[in-house]
Chains A and B, each alone.
Chain A
């Protein structure tokens, strides 16, 4: 069946370092991917998305890379700050059509120390 997974459950970095969080997916037909940040006690917060016709997309301090050949995507956070500490999920949306359910991976807990 379809699955979305992250390589590491936890990642610890120092403030100011760059963070890389990885995710693998299994559905080669997937068209749309989203990274969410979830802080303790809160709902997932949209960070950045990427369509399958792109390899890279940049936001403010974040970059998502998509490698369709190996079905892998990554989230890069530049100059990581303590406020970035949270659980990060990649989510797979099979198609961009309204009504398609998101399939979430298990999450990577990012801990940023000062």
Chain B
């Protein structure tokens, strides 16, 4: 069974560019969560999505950040006009339709130069 997949694993962007992070949930999982981890800190919730719906985006910055989980394909976390403070590890987790045991992907490490 493939686990949660994320790509790219490492992403380097210059200030002002766009970053697109992809997440494919585990088979049978319909819930996707995005978390951000700054160095030496725990993960912070950003957004929770189901297919074609954003359910809770209370942890998302108000500007430049967006997320989607289309009917077909992976979930995408998009960061426009990146700044150095966006440098972090971004983790995706998925859970089954019932219950909430969240399984994490390996993360995407974003570095903004």
Contact = CB atoms under 8 A, between A and B. Distances in A.
Interface residues on B, range: 20 to 34
Contact of A106 (B42, B58, B93, B103): B42
Interface residues of A, number: 25
Nearest to B34: A101
Interface stretch (B13-21, B70-78, B104-112): B104-112
Contacts of B103: 46
Contacts of A103: 45
B64 interface: no
A89 B72 CA distance: 33
Interface string A82-102: 000000010001001111111
Contact of A93 (B35, B41, B58, B100): B100
A79 B96 CA distance: 33
A43 interface: yes
Given A43-B91, A44-B43, A44-B91, A102 B106 contact: no
12 contacts: A4-B42, A43-B4, A44-B91, A46-B101, A96-B99, A98-B95, A99-B31, A99-B56, A101-B59, A102-B33, A102-B45, A106-B40
Given A49-B101, A89-B43, A102-B35, 14 more contacts: A4-B42, A34-B101, A34-B102, A43-B104, A44-B104, A96-B100, A98-B31, A98-B99, A99-B55, A101-B58, A102-B45, A102-B93, A105-B42, A106-B42
Interface of A: 4, 32, 34, 36, 41-46, 49, 89, 93, 96-107
